Structure 1
Amino acid sequence: MPPTARASAAGVLMLALLAACTGGGDDAPAAARPPEGAPALEVTVVLDGLDHPWDVAQAPDGTLLVDERAGGLTAVLPDGTVREVAADFGDLFAEGETGLMGLALDPAFGRAPDPASGESRRFYTCQGARDGTAAGIEVVAWTMAEDWSTATRVADPLIGGIPANERSGRHGGCRLAFAADGALLVGTGDNAVGTNPQDLTTLAGKVLRADPATGAALPDNPFVGSGDGAQDLIWTFGHRNVQGLALRPGSGQVFSVEHGPDRDDEVNLLRPGANYGWDPDGGGSYDETVPMTDPDLPGAVGAVWSSGRPTIATSGGTFLTGGRWGAYEGLLVVGVQKDTGLLALRLDADGVLVDQFRVPELEDVHGRLRSPRLGTDGALYVTTDNGGGDDVLLRVTAA
């Protein structure tokens, strides 16, 4: 019998109560207005004509790199020049929610070349991939040409074996982020398969933690050497569809952002080995009537924030840092795709929700917001996700 959350985490983690952490929805306090003295925000379009852009990253030189779900990379140079990046996506599996998804630059991107590899322009994508007739999800490592004209695969894949839903592409994840210790984190979806989130023999419905140089599990991952068939790469489990990973500067804290079924989109504070309580195994079916975090699961960890009912379809998240943000400094901002806009959460030092509000300048203006990302220049960059070639990359600054 495959190891499950009940077997591996029982007695390790304290049971958290959902109700104490809930914000939003029909059974929770109404969202507050922005804090007094909050800055007015200026929103400008950096790039248009995109189709389902999934992620954005900014290099130290100010260049912005954007990917699109159906395949393709575009660079916006500091002088505003837009450059299509030539890259091989011939094996891309793009179906439904799955395609070219998470994007991250190596923390050493643009610095002096690594003596061992000779690389200084390494970046990573998480994408659906088809090998013959079979499809899965892979993390691929690339290097970028100095002039941003060409990207070349250098580890193909860096991490493989992440399942995909080949019929519909449903719940493919997939977000990438670097932890404060340099580990590469990968948030995956459960593929809409009921057993996946609690099954530690599969990488679906998890957050993975890997060495970005090799793709191997780090030796202090919680299930390394467990001897029960658990995958060494797994850092946390019991997830439905991880759409965002946000690192809180200076704290070491990592938060996931997840879609709920018909209730309870969630933001979770991640802890090694923790079970976040999604267990839709209906005896061979995918039972989405169960709670997003099942309190009957031993050790299930409750959410920091939950939408309640109805859901708002939360997506990527990032923390705002820097004095320019004034009263917004330190907020976790999260893209919203159903009730469209940008959700702002104020958390205390322990990650407990203090208050929440919607950012007025982005409320129901640009449609579905997929990925808010804080740039190296301190500005907030946001991709929209409306489709039809009408999507844009936004730049948000405090006026």
Structure 2
Amino acid sequence: MPVTQRADVDSFFRPHPRPSHCPGQTRARRQVARLALIAVYAVAATGCGASSPESAPPFPALDVVTEIGGLDHPWDVVSAPDGTLLTGERSGRFVVKRPDGSTGVLAADLSDLVVHGELGLMGIALAPDFDLTRTLYVCRTHVAGEVTDIRVQSWTVDAQWTALTPTAVLVDGLPVSTRGRHGGCRVLPYQDGTLLIGTGDATDAAAPQDLGSLGGKVLRIDAATGAPAAGNPFPGSAVYTLGHRNVQGLTIRPGTGEIYAVEQGTHRDDEVNLLTPGGNYGWKPDTGDGHYDESVPMTDPDRVPSAIAAVWSSGPSTIATASSAVVIGPRWGEWDNALAVGVLKGQQVLFLQLDPAGTGVRAESAPPELSGRYGRIRTVAAQPDGSMLLTTDNGDDDKVLRVTPATRR
């Protein structure tokens, strides 16, 4: 299937300016800003260019309702054009809520799924032409004999939302660690027929900087064939960007073509990165002897001179960022077009108001309705009607929630 190039698609893959390393800010000023944000917003730290809490615009009140309950570690959630909601539990169960309010489990053969550590059934995304093809993409672990890998597979679903049928394995061989750490795995389809895939480094020290490895990367493939997409920065390779640790979120900023990746840090520096084709984001835990050194900086210009600075970083401690989406609609007020980030350890949704260039953060907020009330937040998924879907990841009566800005304040 040829890749169709259009003027509006070209901007999606055009190189974007690199964020600065916060020029003009002293270490002391950055620390003061971090401490203020911890107190006011209950987040770990401010990112480059963030405003002080006093200048942050008011956040709308939020209404939160449960769409689906009784779940066990749901990873992703998607909403179909007919209003059907689909989520998948890490253990391999697909659960659906139909427009009439009925819920059910979709029949799907996942007998070759392995659930190990952080891994199992992970990212889900609907094809842009889902109305015509009934196609969706799933990222999950797979075992055959003694070989375990992570793969992205396409499926079709019947019109009644009762069963999933596998159609093609698009990518396989994504690395898996023996402890089940750092598997990614977010999938993001685009209108030009390509698919972006965020992967983890599987705690392989060499993987993030190795173009021969699919770990620690953002990949870009043809969504129909799985082949490297036309126009990729490294000819013949599916690699779109490299130097990542564990990419858990991918989203497009509407109207700009800007792609943002959210990844998890070590003991510090969860990051939001603005992707540039061929860009290196500076994670290099390789000491030269194969040892996986997690004490090095997430973005390390000393070890990786071409490293691109993060748009936002959590700073001296992690909150475990796990997903991202851009919320839209006038009911969000001055936070319309903000980047929402699902947070596991910090148990919140963090909203980042980006600057016009998309290379810095002007303000951030963690609204109380979504802070500490629902436990760990795995996925945030913005909806065309201005609402947002969330999945919790606690393992104890997890839920799919719908969040809507209220008219009151």
Common topology (TM > 0.5): yes
The residue identity in structure 2 corresponding to 1:397 is T
Structure 2 counterpart of 1:151: 164
Is the aligned partner of 1:384 residue 2:392? Answer: yes
Alignment of 1:1-399 (within 5 A): 17-19=20-22, 28-29=33-34, 30-31=36-37, 32=53, 35-111=56-132, 120-155=133-168, 157-165=169-177, 167-179=178-190, 181-225=192-236, 232-282=237-287, 283-296=289-302, 297-351=304-358, 352-388=360-396, 390-399=397-406
CA contact (8 A) 2:141 2:151 kept: yes
Residue 38 of structure 1, CA deviation:
3.0
Residue 83 of structure 1, CA deviation:
1.5
Q: Distance in 2 between matches of 1:271 and 1:183?
A: 16
Deviations 1:169-191 (A, max 9, x none): 11010000123544200000000
Distance verdict in 2 for CA 1:16–1:281, change over 3 Å: farther
Please give the secondary structure, in 2, of the residue aligned with 1:110: helix
CA contact (8 A) 1:242 1:257 kept: yes
CA contact (8 A) 1:121 1:144 kept: yes
Residue 160 of structure 1, CA deviation:
1.1
Q: Distance in 2 between matches of 1:291 and 1:260?
A: 9
Residue 269 of structure 1, CA deviation:
0.1
Q: Distance in 2 between matches of 1:330 and 1:13?
A: 18
Q: Distance in 1 between matches of 2:24 and 2:77?
A: 30
Structure 1 counterpart of 2:49: none
The number of residue pairs the alignment matches comes to 371
What is the TM-score normalised by the length of structure 1?
Answer: 0.88
Please give the secondary structure, in 1, of the residue aligned with 2:130: coil
Please give the secondary structure, in 2, of the residue aligned with 1:172: coil
Distance verdict in 2 for CA 1:310–1:26, change over 3 Å: farther
Structure 2 counterpart of 1:116: none
Residue 375 of structure 1, CA deviation:
2.3
Residue 241 of structure 1, CA deviation:
0.2
Distance verdict in 2 for CA 1:27–1:211, change over 3 Å: farther
Distance verdict in 2 for CA 1:321–1:135, change over 3 Å: same
CA contact (8 A) 2:262 2:323 kept: yes
The residue identity in structure 1 corresponding to 2:60 is P
CA contact (8 A) 1:14 1:301 kept: no
Distance verdict in 2 for CA 1:305–1:37, change over 3 Å: closer
Structure 2 counterpart of 1:117: none
CA contact (8 A) 2:150 2:176 kept: yes
Identity %: 48
Distance verdict in 2 for CA 1:144–1:13, change over 3 Å: closer
Please give the secondary structure, in 2, of the residue aligned with 1:324: helix
Deviations 1:29-66 (A, max 9, x none): 33337954532110011111111100000001111110
CA contact (8 A) 2:319 2:345 kept: yes
Q: Distance in 2 between matches of 1:100 and 1:394?
A: 19
Q: Distance in 1 between matches of 2:180 and 2:24?
A: 31
The residue identity in structure 2 corresponding to 1:235 is Y
Query: 5+ unaligned residues in a row in structure 1: which ranges?
Result: 1-11, 112-119, 226-231
Distance verdict in 2 for CA 1:291–1:28, change over 3 Å: farther
CA contact (8 A) 1:315 1:336 kept: yes
Deviations 1:279-329 (A, max 9, x none): 001221110000000012121000000000111101100000122322221
Query: 5+ unaligned residues in a row in structure 2: which ranges?
Result: 1-14, 38-52
CA contact (8 A) 2:340 2:349 kept: yes
CA contact (8 A) 2:56 2:364 kept: no
The residue identity in structure 1 corresponding to 2:311 is V
- Superposed CA RMSD: 2.2
What is the TM-score normalised by the length of structure 2?
Answer: 0.86
CA contact (8 A) 1:35 1:327 kept: no
Deviation larger for 318-327 or 49-58: 318-327
Distance verdict in 2 for CA 1:206–1:340, change over 3 Å: same
Please give the secondary structure, in 2, of the residue aligned with 1:197: helix
Residue 376 of structure 1, CA deviation:
3.9
Q: Distance in 2 between matches of 1:366 and 1:193?
A: 33
Q: Distance in 2 between matches of 1:275 and 1:259?
A: 16
CA contact (8 A) 2:195 2:220 kept: yes
Please give the secondary structure, in 1, of the residue aligned with 2:349: strand
